[in-house]
Amino acid sequence: MEVSLDKRYPVAASPAQAWTVLRDVRAVAGCMPGAAITEQLDDTHYKGNVKVKVGPATAAFAGDIEVLSLDEATQRLNLLGKGADRAGSTAAMDLVATVEPGETPGTSVLVGQAKVTVNGKFAQFGGRMMVQVSDMILQQFADNFSATAAAQPVPEAEVAAAQPLPEAETVAAQPVTEPKAA
């Protein structure tokens, strides 16, 4: 079962802040509900796992993540994740994510194209709900991503270039991350 996703999520942080998160695979994984990086093998290879529930199917995928490309100039990340669940499912995701400037200063857009392939029991049981569940998970991911990005220190160059942000606004972004940490 193959699902192609093409999504744009608004991020309440500047492109530079967002890119700081996106270029860090551990941080990206941290935004994905149920996911974690367990080991870094080299500059571009990681091991990780992710737990997902789709309808009656629950899977704990353990697998490899490979950063295929990371382009600072275009703020574009391409990674490939492949994993297997011991109960008889496999999953793979080829993800291309870029950061674009938002419509208003200090905001950005996370643009993602992903091809998700699942096989085995996960596809058999959860196939018909894949799109809906993917949407839901990605929305959670985007929310976490946005909060994480907003919590990043604003790069100096950007501070200089941009209008100073009102205190209140920066503070307002903070509480979003706090319940997650709790």
3-state SS string for the chain: CEEEEEEEEEECCCHHHHHHHHCCHHHHHHHCCCEEEEEECCCCEEEEEEEEEECCEEEEEEEEEEEEEEECCCCEEEEEEEEEECCCEEEEEEEEEEEEECCCCCCEEEEEEEEEEEEEHHHHHHHHHHHHHHHHHHHHHHHHHHHHHHCCCCCHHHHHHCCCCCHHHHHHHHHHHHHHHC
Q: Does 139 bind other proteins (CB under 8 A)?
A: no
Closest CB to other proteins among residues 124, 174: 124
Min dist CB 41 to other proteins, Å, is 16
132 lies in the binding site for other proteins (CB under 8 A)? no
Span interacting with other proteins, options 18-26, 64-72, 120-128, 167-175, rule CB under 8 A: 120-128
* The only residue of 40, 125, 158, 159 in contact with other proteins, by rule CB under 8 A: 125
Nearer to other proteins, 94 or 143 (CB): 94
Binding residues vs other proteins (CB under 8 A): 1-2, 56, 84, 86-90, 117-121, 123-125, 127-128
